[in-house]
Amino acid sequence: MSQSRILVIYAHRRPAASRVNKAMVQAAASLPNVTVHDLMARYPDYRIDVEAEQQLLREHDVIVLQFPFYWYSTPAILKEWQDAVLAYGFAYGSNGDKLRGKKLLVATTTGGPGEAYQAGGYNQYTLSELLRPLQATANLAGMAYQPVFSTSGVIGMDDAALDKVATAYHQRLAAL
């Protein structure tokens, strides 16, 4: 079987200031079948080229949405990307079958520690619950939603822990 073509849609408000996602992106980019697409680098003005984005999606079998968790959600540029790119007739609706059968992997990092994301914890809800809009979007588009790749408590993470995350991400992508 040929290797799946993986597209990492990377969204970070300030990519230059990133530690964890930057390490993950570097690990991802070292795989030959992975294309990393940095939304903020490409669209600093948030003006998404819908045609170009849809073409990129068509060319890949696995779509990874990688982002730091912001306000229990995605960074704004990734929400704008969803609103513009996942259009009627492309991702859903009549003839909207262009993403059907592709895999969707959410890869996210949270400042909050793992135990904060549970009923009774600091944030009350699990990450799976908070990511339901992305799961519902995958369902609507006929995509196979994968178990989330998440790393919690990332603020102040030391270099050894950072290396571990990058290695685990590399392995996860390689197995897709």
Ligand X SMILES: Cc1cc2nc3c(=O)[nH]c(=O)nc-3n(C[C@H](O)[C@H](O)[C@H](O)COP(=O)(O)O)c2cc1C
Site string for ligand X, 92-121 (x = CB under 6 A): -----------------xxxx---------
Residue 96 vs 112, nearer CB to ligand X: 112
Q: How far apart are CA 124 and CA 65, in angstroms?
A: 24
In the chain, which ranges are continuous DSSP H helix? 20-29, 39-42, 50-58, 76-85, 127-130, 132-141, 159-174
Tell me: does residue 131 bind ligand X (CB under 6 A).
Answer: no
Bridge partners of 108, per DSSP, are 67, 150
Residue 33 vs 150, nearer CB to ligand X: 150
Q: How far apart are CA 170 and CA 59, in angstroms?
A: 21
Among 36, 99, 154, 166, binds ligand X (CB under 6 A): 154
Residue 64 vs 141, nearer CB to ligand X: 64
The stretch near ligand X (CB under 6 A) out of 30-38, 50-58, 62-70, 89-97 is 62-70
Residue 54 vs 110, nearer CB to ligand X: 110
Closest CA to 109 of 144, 169, 67: 67
| Amino acid, res. 38 | D
Tell me: does residue 20 bind ligand X (CB under 6 A).
Answer: yes
Tell me: does residue 69 bind ligand X (CB under 6 A).
Answer: yes
Closest CA to 92 of 40, 143, 154, 128: 143
**Closest separation in Å from C-beta 90 to ligand X:** 29
Q: Could you list the residues that contact ligand X (CB under 6 A)?
A: 12, 18-21, 68-72, 109-112, 154-155
